[in-house]
Amino acid sequence: MARRIFCMFLIIIVALNALAQGRHSFISQKYDHFTTDIQENIYGWTNDQLDQYSSEGKLLYHYSNPSMGYISKVDAAIPTKIMVYYEESNSIVLLNNKLAPIGNPINLFDLGIQNPVLVCMFGINRLACYNEQNQQLILIDLDLNQTHIINCQFDMEFHPQHIVADHNFERLVLVDSAAGLAFHDRFGTFQKWIPYPGIQHLQLQNNILYFLQDKNIYANNLEALWSPDMIVGYHDIVSFSKVLGNWYFLYSDGFIDKISLIR
């Protein structure tokens, strides 16, 4: 049944891609990176500038703090507590749903966490960081200002470039595009390893892993055998975000588009 649904998605997407050759960008401003939240707000950023758009592509709010350096990552898993990470200053700023700062910046050096790290939201008041130098997964409780350190020992060369939490904050995935995926549970305990190189971007929802590889987007049910189905094929995609039946794509030219699927 799942394979049939994915095949239907593929047929629809291929048809839409054919029409998209002369596409009109959903958002006319160019960005280096983007993400979305569960309310389908869109966040695009380049250098130190972060912009928020509605699901209709209307510009809503701006945020910029040049003194912190360039924005390295934005995590909008919680629309009322948006995480902005600055690798240069090893600091995190939390923003509300209008991109106004919540409290003071969080300096990870002050928590004993050295740069560089990978970081993401892992709960309403919790962050997850991975420090490759020490091979440590660090969970930060923002309420108690406490850290919980889990030592990770991998039996292979593993140099992750991304850390991603699922939408329920029950699972973490560390991604090394040259080696594969390391899964951890909500307590940071290692669960399993999938040796699957080539993944460039991914999203985990309802136990379905969506990932970008060789300019195509695949889906794989983690409860089944590892047998990905290609559901989107378009040569220009560099990252994506799926919210319900809508797909948002960032293309290599910096433009963001939206495609809606009939569910």
75-79, 123-127, 224-228: segment of lowest average pLDDT? 224-228
SS3 107: strand
Q: Quick one: pLDDT at residue 244? A: 87
Q: Which domains does the chain have, with CATH numbers?
A: 1-30+200-263 (2.40.10)
CA distance 73 to 157: 24
Give the mean model confidence (pLDDT) for residues 28-51: 97
pLDDT at 69: 96
What pLDDT, on a 0 to 100 scale, did the predictor assign at position 9? Answer: 47
pLDDT digits (tens, 9 = 90+) for 138-192: 999 999 889 999 999 888 899 999 999 999 999 999 999 999 999 999 999 999 9
Per-residue pLDDT of 3-36, as tens digits, reads 554 445 444 444 444 344 444 568 989 999 999 9
Mean pLDDT value of segment 132-136: 91
Sheet holding 126-131, edge to edge: 118-121, 126-131, 136-141, 146-151
Q: From edge to edge, which strands make up the β-sheet containing 246-251?
A: 237-243, 246-251, 256-260
Model pLDDT, residue 16: 46
Q: How far is CA 32 from CA 47, 141, 204, in A?
A: 8, 30, 22
* Residue-by-residue DSSP string for 128-185: EEEETTTTEEEEEETTTTEEEEEE---SS-----EEEE-TTSSEEEEEETTTEEEEEE
Angle at 12 between CA 261 and CA 54, to 5 degrees: 30
Mean pLDDT taken over the chain: 89
CB neighbours of 250 closer than 8 A, spacing ≥ 6? 31, 33, 34, 237, 238, 239, 240, 256
DSSP H stretches of helix in the chain: 2-19
Q: How confident is the model at residue 263 (pLDDT cuts 50, 70, 90)?
A: very low
pLDDT score, position 145: 84
The pLDDT assigned to 261 comes to 65
Distance CA(7)–CA(229), nearest Å, equals: 8
- In sequence order, the 6+-apart residues with CB closer than 8 A to the CB of 18 are none
Higher per-residue confidence, 55 vs 10 = 55
pTM: predicted TM-score of the whole model, two decimal places: 0.89
Instruction: List Cβ neighbours of 50 (8 Å cut-off, separation of 6 or more).
Output: 43, 44, 62, 63, 64, 71, 74, 84, 99
The whole-angstrom separation of Cα 248 and Cα 263 is 16
The pLDDT tens digits of the residues spanning 89-120 come to 999 999 999 999 999 999 999 999 998 899 99
pLDDT beyond 90 at 232: no
- Give phi and psi for 68, each to the nearest 5: -85, -15
CB contact at 8 A, 5 and 219:
no
* Choice between 125 and 233, residue whose per-residue pLDDT is larger: 125
